[in-house]
Structure 1
Amino acid sequence: MSSRSSRARSDLETSISQFVSVTGASTRDARRYLERHKRLDAAIDAFYNDPGAARSGASTTKLNALFDQYKDPDAEEITVDGTIRLCQDLCVDPEDVVLLAVAYELRSPRMGEWSRKGWVDGWRALGHDTLPAMQGALARLRERLGADPEYFQKVYNYTFDFSRQAGQRSLALDMAQAFWALLIPHGLAGGALAHVAGDEDEDEAMGAEEGWKDEYTTWWFEFLTEKGGRGVSKDTWQMFLEFVRMIDARFEKYDAEAAWPSTLDDFVEYARARLASGA
């Protein structure tokens, strides 16, 4: 066997080992995906995008043992202290936007808390039962959250529901701003919040028209602070996502007669005034 063939075989075996560690798939499946897609990252993506892929290898026993490792000793759930330790072991910042995707996947009942059922069902669906594999999942979830508009919307909407205080219909303003500060830049950078131009102009529909800019998120926060009020309604939270996707960079094509929340009507006037003044 030539040195080149030997090296290629060694590289394949290393990739197979990494594929199995990340996905929990069998060696046979790992080899099949790698031979078909060549690169490790492409093979892993193909595996997770394949609805027929066998991802049932995640062990309930292992997942329960991991849950017990982090759960509150006096409760049947992982609470904030356990979440901080988990983040340390996963090498992820507790304020990383990817944890909002994890909260969606594991059906977190509240911020920084995880139920046993949500933990086991969520990680089994993702196909992971070890910390190294979970680390790999975080990278893919972060990328998907930034790039996939439908997935972004699911995580975005779930964020409102799981982060409200018990018994409250609205989300506290400071909490809403903190989550917007995580989600909006991530979606803009990855393309999940790419501008959707109107149908009336073909050139604009092809992408020539500019949309929401990072600085407008700051304007939005300043506007809400000046306006006062302590909470953000679910309607405003959900409609703001659509607003960010469709509004043009000059705020010229906003239809005030459409069913937008009045808060967004007022913000458009605020933004137009700032643009006119050059502020």
Structure 2
Amino acid sequence: MHSDAAAVNFQLNSHLSTLANIHKIYHTLNKLNLTEDVGQDDHQTGSLRSCSSSDCFSKVMPPRKKRRPASGDDLSAKKSRHDSMYRKYDSTRIKTEEEAFSSKRCLEWFYEYAGTDDVVGPEGMEKFCEDIGVEPENVVMLVLAWKLDAQNMGYFTLQEWLKGMTSLQCDTTEKLRNTLDYLRSLLNDSTNFKLIYRYAFDFAREKDQRSLDINTAKCMLGLLLGKIWPLFPVFHQFLEQSKYKVINKDQWCNVLEFSRTINLDLSNYDEDGACKYRAGCSLISPMAVHLLFLLTVKSLRAVLFSLSLFRASFVGRVCGVV
């Protein structure tokens, strides 16, 4: 009986010792913040929740943490990220600077063609046209001169260049090439076309003359009206055969008005009405007479051709009957 009691006490002391050890381990882990939060009542009393040994062990074990890189690796990774961000920012900044208009770059671009002078002359203009891929006699060069407000054909001054290229936001050859389609499109607008047409007269004439010599006038009219006015070939023929040596500005402007308002068959042309309120009809009237004559001849030829076809057909029928 005594031995049984001793065995029970020994087992009890053993369990209490084990429980005390578990309790001590729990508080040690709790101080290190490696246990889950417990209820306020349990924490105040310091008692453990009832659980099996495996449950308690799984709850008090801390979660596995990712290995922190060494200080050298961490600095290297940060530097790599910073370098990547800087390269991205730097490339964006350079691209933005290239796209933005620069007066300095525009000035340097001008002197590529002007050399040591403050004006682009015929030689520089030829190289300029070659670089932008446009022939000097192309109408887009006239539109560009209009945008620059150039005063003399074949020359761009420094002031004209800077003012015009700034308005176009062009400071390199590539940018101007990309703007050529826009310049051509200006000719499709009737208001802009009229402004360019009027500008062309003053741009092409000698500055000590009030009129435009006939040869220059024929070239400029062909450049502006040659592809859009069906009657231009006839008008050009009229100028070739006429005795005119010069064309004044009123005559120049009336040619455009005539091309825009008069029907191709001249059915709405009225000589009195055309000259009543307009100057320069000394060119328009004989031109209209010439056109009417040619149209009449053309109509007569068409009639005679039709009659010849009818005669041939009629003779063929008669011969067939016989």
TM-score (norm 1): 0.68
Partner residue in 2 for 1:59: 102
CA deviation string 1:111-159 (max 9, x = no partner): 11001111111111111111111001112111221x1111111111111
Confirm or deny: 8 A CA contact 1:90 1:135 kept in the other structure. yes
**Match runs of 1:119-198 below 5 Å:** 119-145=161-187, 147-186=188-227, 188=228
SS in 2 for 1:249: coil
Match of 1:68 among 94, 104, 111: 111
How far did residue 59 of structure 1 move? Answer: 1.4
CA distance in 2 between counterparts of 1:161 and 1:95 reads: 17
1:219–1:271 Cα contact (<8 Å) kept? yes
CA contact 1:70–1:86 (8 Å) conserved in 2: yes
1:77–1:114 CA contact under 8 A, matched in 2: yes
- 1:249 paired residue number: 264
Which residue of 2 is the match for residue 106 of structure 1? 148
Distance, in Å, in 2 between the alignment partners of 1:110 and 1:160 is: 11
Within the alignment, does 1:275 sit opposite 2:283 as a pair? no
Higher relative CO (Cα under 8 Å, sequence separation at least 6) belongs to: 1
User: How far apart are the structure 2 equivalents of 1:154 and 1:131?
Assistant: 26
Between the aligned residues of both structures, percent identity stands at 28
Deviation at 1:72, TM superposition (A): 4.9
Greater fraction helix:
2
Structure 1 outlier segments of 4+, above 4 Å: none
Alpha-carbon offset, residue 255 of structure 1: 2.2
The amino acid that maps onto 1:118 is E
Looking at structure 2, the residues matched to 248 and 72 of structure 1 have their Cα atoms a distance apart, in angstroms, of 51
Match of 2:139 in 1: 97
Which structure has the larger Rg? 2
Aligned partner letter, 1:108 = A
**For 1:95 and 1:224, how far apart are their aligned partners in 2?**
21
CA distance in 1, matches of 2:178, 2:197: 22
CA drift of 1:225 comes to: 2.1
Deviation digits for residues 148-171 of structure 1 (CA, Å, limit 9, x no counterpart): 111111111111101111201111
1:194-273 equivalences in 2 (<5 Å): 212-213=229-230, 216-258=231-273, 259=275, 260=278, 261-273=281-293
Query: Runs of 5+ in structure 2 lacking a partner?
Result: 1-91, 302-322
Given that 1:72 and 1:79 are in contact with CA atoms closer than 8 Å, whether structure 2 keeps it comes out as no
| Contact 1:83-1:112 within 8 A present in 2 as well | yes
The answer on whether the counterparts of 2:212 and 2:247 sit within 8 Å (CA) in structure 1 is yes
AA matched with 1:225 = E
Report the 3-state secondary structure (helix = DSSP H, G, I; strand = E; otherwise coil) of the residue aligned with 1:257: helix
User: What is the RMSD of the two structures over their aligned residues, measured on CA atoms?
Assistant: 1.9
Residue aligning to 1:14: none
SS of aligned partner of 2:272 = coil
Whichever residue aligns with residue 256 of structure 1, its letter is E
- Is 2:96 the partner of 1:81? no
Distance 1:249 1:80 in 2: 39
- Amino acid corresponding to residue 241 of structure 2 in structure 1: E
